[in-house]
Amino acid sequence: MTDTTSGTPAATSTTSLFEQLGGEPAVAAVVDVFYDKVLSDPDLAPYFAGVDLDRLKQHQRRFIGQALGATRPYSGRSMRKAHEHLAITDAAFGRVVEHLAASLAQAGVDEPTIGTIAEALLPLKPEIVTA
Ligand code: HEM
């Protein structure tokens, strides 16, 4: 797509990853695929027992959206507060990131962009992994 008035390509550095991906509907689709994968993983499903999935998906859409540069802010709990009661292991964290990367790949996001997103999530590990 090209902006014919200025001749500027749509995907410049001023276009956020969020917009490049396709905005809110695209992020919602990625989050749905992501939780299908997580809940089908026998090592991860027990962490989500009794969790209100609709609410969780809502928060995750906002969280990922913000991480990708959407303007609508994330207003949920801090990553430490949201996860401290779950005794999450290092291995579980790694698998969750793998499932997220696979979900993004399935949505057509290219490898370098997935790498950028995964790197942005890595600093959260000490707040999320408590076991
Ligand atoms: C990159 C890593 C992760 C990110 C960005 C992330 C993000 C989030 C967000 C935004 C919420 C909602 C917080 C709220 O409700 O206020 C949440 C909740 C939750 N996360 Fe994660 N998470 C990550 C890793 C993990 C891992 C590794 C697990 C388990 C293996 C996990 C399990 C959960 C569970 C069970 C909840 C619901 C907690 C509850 O409502 O009691 N998360 N996460």
53-67 helix and 111-121 helix, angle to the nearest 10 degrees:
110
pLDDT in tens, 31-62: 999 999 999 999 999 999 999 999 999 999 99
For residue 50, is it left (φ>0), alpha (ψ between -120 and 50) or beta?
Answer: left
pLDDT range class, residue 93, cuts 50, 70, 90: very high
- State which H helix or E strand residue 2 sits in: strand 2-3
Atom 17 (ligand 1): residue with closest C-alpha?
A: 82
Mean per-residue pLDDT, 20-31: 91
Tokens for 17, please give them: 């990853």
99 marked as part of a ligand binding site: no
Ligand 1 atom with the shortest distance to the CA of 129:
27
ipTM: 0.97
Domains defined for the chain, CATH in brackets = 2-128 (1.10.490.10)
Q: How far is the CA of 109 from the centre of ligand 1 (A)?
A: 22
Those residues with Cβ within 8 angstroms of residue 64's Cβ, 6 or more apart along the chain or in another chain = 27, 30, 31
117 lines ligand 1 (CB under 6 A): no
Q: Which residues are paired to 2 by β-bridges? A: 9
47 lines ligand 1 (CB under 6 A): yes
Write down the mean pLDDT value for the chain. Answer: 88
